[in-house]
Amino acid sequence: MLRRLRYYIRQFIQLARQQGGRAAFAKVLEMVWRRRLFLQFASEWMEFHLIAPRRSALATVRAVTVGAVPLDAATRPHLLLYSSFDPRSRVGEHVQAQVQAYHAAGFCTVFTTTSDELPPAELEKLAPYCAVMMHRRNIGIDFGSWKAGYDWLHSTADGTAYLDKVETVLLANDSCYGPFADLAPFIATMRDAPNAVYGMTRSLEISPYLQSYFLHFGRNVVARGLFARYMRYVRLLRTKLGVGRFLEIGGSTFLEAHGVPLRAFVDAADEPVRTILRQYDLTDPIRDPAGRVFLEMGLTPFHKRSNDLFAPSGASTCADPVSQ
């Protein structure tokens, strides 16, 4: 949906230069109608507002396994909700490396996978670093997994007690390789911004939004109940287009509407970042070659897997990816 919308915007600009604004509008409107884009928008709107609110994230959970890390806010007051999927039903090396790195940084991890299976041998890779490991049906993609983990905690006495005392929350997924650098300075920066929600990257495509593979909710955001409200806003949508429109972009809009500042380590609105993006005719900071440049500059410790620059086996450590 977002890609199509960008396509129509580019078509309008091109036609407007050639034929004028009125003719361009009529032409693009005709193109949209022929492809029934309005019906797709309406379908996504109805799912988000009328159908998805009735879906239960807990109903998608197939199995829950308790890990070795206790739900203890006194020792681990920072919650990580981590979403994963592997077509081979395995725990990738980069996933294991990330979970270990977050554990070392003091996070209490609830790991959720939508793989077809979650074999005991794969669970053993994660158990020492997780409080809870969940296996669920893939409805709602990453947002559905985060909501399922959060709702499951709320459904248990120990989980509810833990959530009442949690200080910060991180939403992350396995769509990036790394970390290729020490997480400590990035985490320190985020924890020094208690009123903000921090992302690794912020895109200007369609409208400014924090890209959802990494979202950190500061101490005061959690204490004010805004993270809980955000999770109530999250719904289980069946299409990636709906997730992108209503949850990824719409989630940033929701947070800003509630007075939450949005910050990012790589912000496409910042002039130094925009300068690099312009060199490659990009607006999305995760796309290569700009994504690789930001990684080499040390602005982010992660690199999106969609760029396919590094093999998982070579990207699971904190080593310099350029030298591999």
Instruction: Tell me the pLDDT tens digit for each residue of 193-231.
Output: 999 999 999 998 878 999 999 999 999 999 999 999 999
179 upstream amide cis, omega within 30 of 0: yes
- Token pair, residue 303, equals 């690199």
Confirm if 80 and 172 have CB atoms less than 8 A apart: yes
What burial class does residue 74 get, using C-beta atoms within 10 Å of its C-beta: 0-12 exposed, 13-18 middle, 19+ buried?
A: exposed
Q: Which domain holds residue 147?
A: 62-270
Distances (CA, A) of 209 to 115, 199, 215, 220, 247: 28, 9, 11, 21, 10
* 213 and 262 assigned to the same domain: yes
- Which single residue is written with the structure tokens 């101490």? 219
User: Residues 168, 127: one domain?
Assistant: yes
Other Cβ atoms closer than 10 A to 307: 16
Contact 99, 127 (CB under 8 A): no
pLDDT at residue 22, as a whole number: 75
Q: Quick one: 193 and 256 in the same domain?
A: yes
Number of domains in the chain: 2
Looking at the structure, do residues 132 and 232 belong to the same domain, yes or no? yes
Residues 177 and 90 in one domain: yes
In a structure prediction context, what are the per-residue pLDDT tens digits for the chain, which is 324 residues long?
Answer: 555 666 667 777 777 777 777 777 777 666 665 566 566 777 777 788 877 888 899 999 999 999 999 999 999 999 999 999 999 999 999 999 999 999 999 999 999 999 999 899 999 999 999 999 999 999 999 999 999 999 999 999 999 999 999 999 999 999 999 999 999 999 999 999 999 999 999 998 878 999 999 999 999 999 999 999 999 999 999 888 889 889 999 999 999 999 999 999 999 999 999 999 999 999 899 999 999 999 999 999 999 987 544 333 334 444 333 322
| 215 plus 161 within the same structural domain | yes
In a domain, 110, yes or no: yes
Same domain, 109 and 192: yes
Task: Give the integer Cα–Cα distance in Å for 49 and 238.
Answer: 13
Q: Which of 253, 270, 287 is the last residue of a domain?
A: 270
Query: How much is the pLDDT for 42?
Result: 72
Q: Are residues 228 and 248 in the same domain?
A: yes
**Same-domain pairing of 48 and 70:** no
